[in-house]
Structure 1
Amino acid sequence: MKITVIGASGQIGSRVVEVLTAAGHDVVGASKRTGADVLTGEGLADAVAGSAVLVDVTNSPSFEDGPVMDFFSRSSANLVKAAADAGVGHYVALSIVGADGLPDSGYMRAKVVQERTVADSGLPYTIVRATQFHEFAEAIVDSLAAGDEIHAPQARIQPVAAADVAATVADAAGGAPVNGILDLGGPDKMTFAELARTVLTHRGEHTPVVVDPGATYFGTRVDDDSLVTGAGAVLGDLRFTDWLASR
């Protein structure tokens, strides 16, 4: 089956291309580097021509509220148009668990716009929502630094390996559209404080970790359920502690 992966040069996209190619699919890896510009639409028709599936794993180069909304609004509109014009039979998009429950986050608001554009396009689709990646854990912990302490939100998080995300997106692309959302999370749910202590221990650091009810996740208030999966979710195989130990 011919499958176009848009965002193929990124952390997830490059892995999705590898998994799908290994499974025997005819894969087109497209990105701005190959001439496929999701913001202008240039090159998209060529990238999706003849493909049965389009996989959208693009991401905004800026997380600021205005630019990120502009990116996902324009890119999703251009991509669904290109997919529809090409007769693509399945649109697979990667999003974030809990996106629609965190409207104070500009990034999450933009991801919801992307999801709605895909869902309202009339194309058969699957939206894979993933929790935060193992690979982002250190940056998350570092963002919680307040002076000489780490101030952790009173909430849970469920890190998942990027490799597990890519495998799930690839599985979705090779399967039938669900015309809905598929949630994916890591095998373990933990508090932000537990995540922080695990990362700090791995780095040999002894920074005090304080659970702070006023602490936020990149400026957004979260609780025990905001960033974790519920019943029926797909769970990745690689535990965060094992991933850290392998580095």
Structure 2
Amino acid sequence: MKIVVIGGSGFIGSRLVGRLRQGGHFVVAASPSTGVNTVTGDGLPEAMEDAQVVIDVANSPSFDGAVAWDFFFTSCHNLFAAESAAGVRHHLALSVVGTGHLLDSGYFRAKYLQEQLIAESGVPYTILRATQFFEFMGGIAASSTQDQIVRLPPALTQPVAADDVAETLAQLAVRPPANGRLELAGPQPYRLSDVVDRVLAVNHDERLVISDPSATYFGIRIDERALIPGPGQPFIGAIGLDDWLARNHLQTA
């Protein structure tokens, strides 16, 4: 089966492309570096030729709300025009658990727009909302640090490993479209401050991490359950925090 991975050279995309190729699929790793640009439309018709599945794991070049809105709006319209012309049978996209609860953020409003455009495209689709990646905990810490103190809201999170995100996407690629949203989380919930503290500690980062009810998440107020899956049965990743920390320590030691 021919599968096009939009953002195929990126953080999740490179992991996903490898898994799909190991599964015997013909995979196009589509990105500007390979001549496929969803914003300009360059290379899209050629990439889509004979493709059965398109997986979009590309992200906005900026978390600025206006930039993200323009990126997702333009990319989606170009993608769906090319997919419809080529007869693509399944559009699979990666999104974020809690997007609907984070709309005070311009970036998450743009992600929600992306989800709406997917649902309205006419192309059969699946949206996989994943929780925060273990690999992104350092970025969350950086966004919340002042004077060597990391202040985080007392929210729950159920973080997942990037490898589990790629594996789940690879599995969904060969299933029928859900025509709806699915969710993926890691094996266990934690307080956001607890998991960030453990990730920083394994990297010998001495910043103090505290749970502060007045703290924000990327500049917005969130409630305790905004970052965890909703009712239903989410996919659960295989890699827990302890295993991920052990692997990360070995890779960086």
When normalised by structure 2's length, the TM-score is 0.94
Question: Any gaps of 5 or more consecutive residues in structure 1?
Answer: none
SS of 2:126's partner is strand
Describe how 1:1-247 pairs up with structure 2 within 5 A. 1-230=1-230, 231-247=232-248
Residues 21-52 of structure 1: per-residue CA shift (max 9 Å, x gap) = 11111211111111111001111010111011
Supply the distance in 2 between the matched residues of 1:28 and 1:67 (Cα, whole angstroms).
26
| Preserved CA contact (<8 Å) 1:91 1:125 | yes
Residues 45-85 of structure 1: per-residue CA shift (max 9 Å, x gap) = 10111011111111111111111111011101111111111
Letter aligned with residue 157 of structure 2: I
Supply the distance in 2 between the matched residues of 1:148 and 1:43 (Cα, whole angstroms).
46
Task: Report how many residues are paired.
Answer: 247
Displacement after TM superposition at 1:200 (Å): 3.3
| Preserved CA contact (<8 Å) 1:141 1:199 | no
Question: Any gaps of 5 or more consecutive residues in structure 2?
Answer: 249-253
Letter aligned with residue 14 of structure 1: S
Change (3 A) 1:200 1:9: closer
Supply the distance in 2 between the matched residues of 1:136 and 1:196 (Cα, whole angstroms).
9
| Preserved CA contact (<8 Å) 1:155 1:191 | yes
Identity, in percent, stands at 47
Supply the distance in 2 between the matched residues of 1:207 and 1:32 (Cα, whole angstroms).
37
SS of 1:80's partner is helix
SS of 2:9's partner is coil
Which stretches of structure 1, 4 residues or longer, exceed 6 Å deviation after superposition?
none
Residues 85-107 of structure 1: per-residue CA shift (max 9 Å, x gap) = 11001010111111112111111
Letter aligned with residue 38 of structure 1: T
Q: Superposition RMSD on alpha carbons, in Å?
A: 1.3
Displacement after TM superposition at 1:207 (Å): 3.5
Letter aligned with residue 236 of structure 2: L
When normalised by structure 1's length, the TM-score is 0.96
SS of 2:177's partner is coil
Displacement after TM superposition at 1:204 (Å): 3.2
Displacement after TM superposition at 1:149 (Å): 2.1
Supply the distance in 2 between the matched residues of 1:17 and 1:81 (Cα, whole angstroms).
23
| Preserved CA contact (<8 Å) 1:90 1:126 | yes
Supply the distance in 2 between the matched residues of 1:241 and 1:216 (Cα, whole angstroms).
27
Supply the distance in 1 between the matched residues of 2:54 and 2:208 (Cα, whole angstroms).
46
Residues 169-211 of structure 1: per-residue CA shift (max 9 Å, x gap) = 1111111101001100111111122123212332334443332
Displacement after TM superposition at 1:142 (Å): 2.6
188-197 or 4-13, larger mean C-alpha shift:
188-197
Residues 205-234 of structure 1: per-residue CA shift (max 9 Å, x gap) = 444333211101111212221111133100
Letter aligned with residue 122 of structure 1: G
SS of 1:27's partner is strand
Supply the distance in 1 between the matched residues of 2:31 and 2:197 (Cα, whole angstroms).
37
Letter aligned with residue 246 of structure 2: A
